[in-house]
Amino acid sequence: MPVNPEPRYDLETPEDLDYLGAFAGATDADREAWGAARTYGREILPRMNEAWQKAEYPLDLVAKMGEADLLTDGLDIPGHRKLSPLGAGLVNMEISRWDGSMATALAVQGGLALRSIALFGSEEQKQRYVEDLVTGRVCGAFALTEPEHGSDSVSLETSAVRDGDEYVITGEKKWIGNGAAGGITVVWARDEDGNVRGFIVPQDTPGYEAEVITGKGALRAIDQARISLNGVRVPASNLLPGVARFKEVSAVLVETRVGVGWSALGHAVAVFEAALAYSRQRVQFGKPLAKFQMVQERLVEMLSDITDMQLMSAQIARLQTEGILRDQQASLFKVHNTVRARRVAATARDMLGGNGILLENHVMRHVADIEGIHTYEGTESIQRLIVGRDITGQSAFA
């Protein structure tokens, strides 16, 4: 007797639920960029589950992001799409809705590497590298985190010693996205005076050794590397002239922290919409799951978290637009959205039952990837301590 095949569920169609109109103020330009990110996301989705499962980094899709002019991350790059803070956030959210690895590539390429050179580079450095980075023709990395210094990155030990017309860089870095992609790396090190300096290091420079970190359970479709800098020599002209203190580096990190908050929203939207669609299509005990009171209650709880995240995201964008966003507010945003994204993802995975662990249903990948963004750009504990110090006037840092 033939066995009826299990139905396939359409869990990919966006619902665009903005229950309290958090994004009602988005301009036509914002929505155009958002639409371009959605088109990109739809095109890459068929490849992402396999790339994620095999831990393969599809670099051509990073270049495709550049071709769609989605790598500017709110920077004003001549000849390219200029996004408002809200528009940049919506792009980040939308790409994350389809895949976290490519959203991380956006954060590394545009948010970190491109931003460092655009803000702190010389005119010659900008002319040489900015266009290649914003179009995705060259991969860019940002090497700050070290094996022994993650959350306390201000304590970095990598050194840069002046030797005539060159600097000699020695040290190790870890968790560096694009660090082994064959492009350039913005390496952060301390000079002889203890100042934090940035250097553009081509990845084919002698002494630069990068090993892709394997065995990851999250963000598996982007490579992160452990880098050894063994007396790497770069011309003094590769020094970024616009930064000499960690405070300037923090300006880049704050922008990326905001991006993580938007990315968390995108992941949460993806899994919520999948759970909502599944509840309408999955029949149990003779009726759709959506007709069960418990299911509706859980969906509303998820919607409440997402609406909360949307409202905070829109407010953060407003503060950015007015130029009054404080670092501590970015920290609160990051921890707020990633914590809620984890909660929404756990509920969504559970609502899909056994189907929730199948990559084909586009939930489990987000569940895992949220764990990655919850940690990077500052752990939950560190972000809470930053905000706690701000509101109490007392530092709890050791």
Q: How many CA atoms within 13 Å lie on the side-chain side of 149?
A: 16
Which whole-number Å values give the CA distances from 158 to 165, 173, 213, 241, 369, in the listed order? 19, 8, 20, 18, 29
pLDDT at 206: 97
- Per residue in 137-183, pLDDT (tens digit) is 999 999 999 988 766 667 789 999 999 999 999 999 999 999 999 99
Paired strand residues for 9: none
pLDDT of res. 304: 98
Check: CB of residue 26 under 8 Å from CB of residue 90: yes
Question: What pLDDT does residue 3 have?
Answer: 55
CATH number of 244-390: 1.20.140.10
The answer to whether residues 144 and 162 touch, using CB atoms and an 8 Å cutoff, is: no
- Res 151: pLDDT: 67
Q: Given a cut of 80, is residue 110 above it in pLDDT?
A: yes
User: Bridge-partner residues for 173, per DSSP?
Assistant: 227
The answer to whether 322 is a known catalytic residue is no
Torsion, CA 242, CA 243, CA 244, CA 248, rounded to 10:
140
Second-level CATH architecture of 26-133: Orthogonal Bundle (1.10)
Note the pLDDT tens digit of each residue in 261-302. Answer: 999 999 999 999 999 999 999 999 999 999 999 999 999 999
pTM (2 d.p.): 0.95
Give the active site residue among 94, 146, 255, 377. Answer: 377
Tokens in use for 282? Answer: 């999955």
Domain ranges within the chain, ordered by starting residue: 26-133, 139-236, 244-390
CATH architecture for segment(s) 139-236: Beta Barrel (2.40)
Give the tokens for residue 371: 């764990």
The amino acid sitting at 38 is R
